Amino acid sequence: MEISKMEDLITDLGTMMVLSEKSNNDIRSCLSILQYLKAKSTRITLGQVQSSSAGAKDMQQGLFTVWESVFQIKLSKKGQGASSASKVNQKTSLSGPLSQVLQTVQSYGDYERLTNGVFENYAKVRSTDSPIAPVVKALNWFVFQDLISAHIKTSQNYSLYGYLPWAFVQWHILFASIQKPKLVYPSTAYDVASRIQRNRQVLDFLFSGMSPKLQSYQHRGNLLLDVAPMLVVLITPNVRPVSIQLYTQKEKNELGRVVSVMADYNVNYSQMRTPEGHYNFLLDPNIEELVCFSENPRENITTYTVRQLLSKEVECEKIRRSAAKSSSHGGDSNENKSTTPAELPTKEKAKTPAGLPNHLQKLTPKAIKKKVVEVQAKDFFGRIVEKSLASEKSKAKTDEIVKSDIWFHFKEGYNNAVRKNVYLSDLL
């Protein structure tokens, strides 16, 4: 009213209350409507406010407000819109509340997020003793909107975009009540997407950790549908939770089979802490999430002692396989190496058998090489005898390898300095 007086507008308190309710107490929408009506006349009546649609696009409502308009029937106050509202309803096929729901949904615009919220809450706001027919009709409208939305995204045909908000009008007819609903934010889509991402990571980790002989005959589709469900059963041994020394031969064979399968598929039990604070051995990667539902856990579950034993045996099996593989590669590399005088094995190394793992070899002391000191020649009185240059030259001329007068020395390369052909018969 103060703004109306300052702008010289003639109106009353009831008209301003209707204007505030129409704009959902949005001051910006009220000001825009008043500015629009002032351009026509300085007197603002109740009929002008109710028949005006100015400022409707400026109102931005939240998600929960839109969902409440779908699930709740708002009772109109008496004495509002008796004259002009009837004229508007005669021109449209929808009644006042339904047209208001349609306008609210259209003003928000994000139909996919609104649909997720309706799908998350429609079963909770519905009473338990209501018939099943409204649910069937609502699900049909969910399918209709999903098909229209998918067709728009694939074909880019946005002429069908105007049909999407009409599903919310039908859901309002089927599920709306006078009581205010207790709504929750939709989390089903996010939970499903995160679960799919986690399952893909588990499947990729399982596939990449398999041995090459198994990986060549598998792909992710068969691994998920055929191998993983049976693998959970195969790695569950039927043994007693006692020490391995007390096992029978049958139990030892069963344990060896399970350990071999787990080592081939790179699956093992890892100790993890539960949210309750307890420790438990869980599969790593956890393939139980791929094949078992959380609501229906497995019945045949091994005990904590058996899982601890399997974890230890699988690690030992991996160490044995890696040691055997490294020894085989080491034996092949030793055969291919050329034996040069500098690389000849010592007596201590010769005693060590080839292919013996490092953890089984014994430590032997390393022989220290003595530094050879050149002893200078001395005479009877202890004086150092100097070597003459002539004697050094004479020693350099004599070669222990070449003792004959004629000898040959091969030198790599090409030289044009020698232009005369020399035959072997000329030298003999």
pLDDT of residue 146: 92
pLDDT of residue 342: 42
The CA-CA-CA angle for residues 261, 267, 268, to 5°, reads 105
Q: Do 232 and 298 meet the contact criterion of CB atoms below 8 Å apart?
A: yes
Q: pLDDT below 50 — which residues of the chain? A: 78-93, 338-350
What is the Cα–Cα distance from 257 to 234, expressed in whole angstroms? 9
Listed residues 299, 321, 343: the one ending a domain: 321
| Within a domain: 411 | no
Which pTM does this prediction carry? 0.51
pLDDT of residue 390: 65
Q: Count of CB atoms within 10 A of residue 74's CB?
A: 13
Q: Are residues 144 and 223 in the same domain?
A: no
pLDDT of residue 60: 61
| Within a domain: 400 | no
Q: Are residues 250 and 305 in the same domain?
A: yes
Q: What's the chain's length in residues?
A: 428
Q: Are residues 194 and 312 in the same domain?
A: yes
Q: Do 171 and 112 meet the contact criterion of CB atoms below 8 Å apart?
A: no
Per the structure, the complete domain to which residue 169 belongs is given by 61-76+93-186
| Within a domain: 409 | no
pLDDT of residue 148: 92
Q: Are residues 201 and 312 in the same domain?
A: yes
Q: Are residues 175 and 128 in the same domain?
A: yes
Total domains in the fold of the chain: 3
